[in-house]
Structure 1
Amino acid sequence: MSDTFAAMQRTLTSPAETHYAITPSDTADLSPVPRALYVSASGTAVLVDRSGTELSYDLTAGTTLPLRARRVKATGTTAQLIAWV
């Protein structure tokens, strides 16, 4: 399959090229760190950013959270998330 955009430079505002389902963990960082999170099922997500700050978000299914979270904590997370890289 031909990819017209293969030679284009990627930036943080470019569309994601890969994705993976997130399994929340209180100890393991996401790898690779995603450029955004897609909420596939509503709930709460406890996220840790690159500086180590931990915050809880109430999320609605179908929304995109433009945060490069380094970890999604298992404790307190009920939402289902997909990483966009």
Structure 2
Amino acid sequence: MIDVYKNRQPGMTSPAVAAEIIIPANGRELNYATRAVYVGSGGDLSMELLNGDVVTFKNLASGTLLPVRARRVRNSDTTASDLIGLR
């Protein structure tokens, strides 16, 4: 496979280059800060952003791509599932 962009540093508006499954947990940070979170099954999503703010996004639809820099996804107040952190 040829990747003509392999020598370029990705920016915040570039497509994601890696992903991880997110399992919500109040006391555990994600392995990597996200650039976006994909919501596979809709509901509410509570997270701690990089600056420490805690926010709950209500009634997200399945398939939502939320462009947030998150450090933690909290199981308190989170009903959405099948979450993927993109970076």
| TM-score, with length taken from structure 1 | 0.92
Identity rate, percent: 36
Q: What corresponds to 2:43 in structure 1? A: 43
Q: Which residue of 1 is the match for residue 27 of structure 2?
A: 27
Partner secondary structure for residue 73 of structure 2:
strand
TM-score by length of structure 2 reads 0.90
Local SS of the residue matching 2:40: strand
- 2:77 corresponds to which letter in structure 1? G
* Contiguous gaps of at least 5 residues in structure 2: none
| RMSD, aligned CA | 1.0
Which residue does the alignment assign to 1:64? 65
Aligned pair count? 85
Q: 1:84 aligns with which of 76, 83, 86?
A: 86
Letter in 2 for 1:63: T
In the TM superposition, residue 9 of structure 1 has moved relative to its aligned partner by 2.4
List alignment gaps of at least 5 residues for structure 1.
none
Q: Over residues 56-84 of structure 1, what are the superposed CA-to-partner deviations in whole Å (9 max), with x where a residue is unaligned?
A: 11211111111101110011111121110
For 1:83, give the aligned amino acid: G
Whole-angstrom distance in 1 between the partners of 2:51 and 2:6: 32
Structure 1 runs, 4 residues or longer, greater than 3 Å off: none
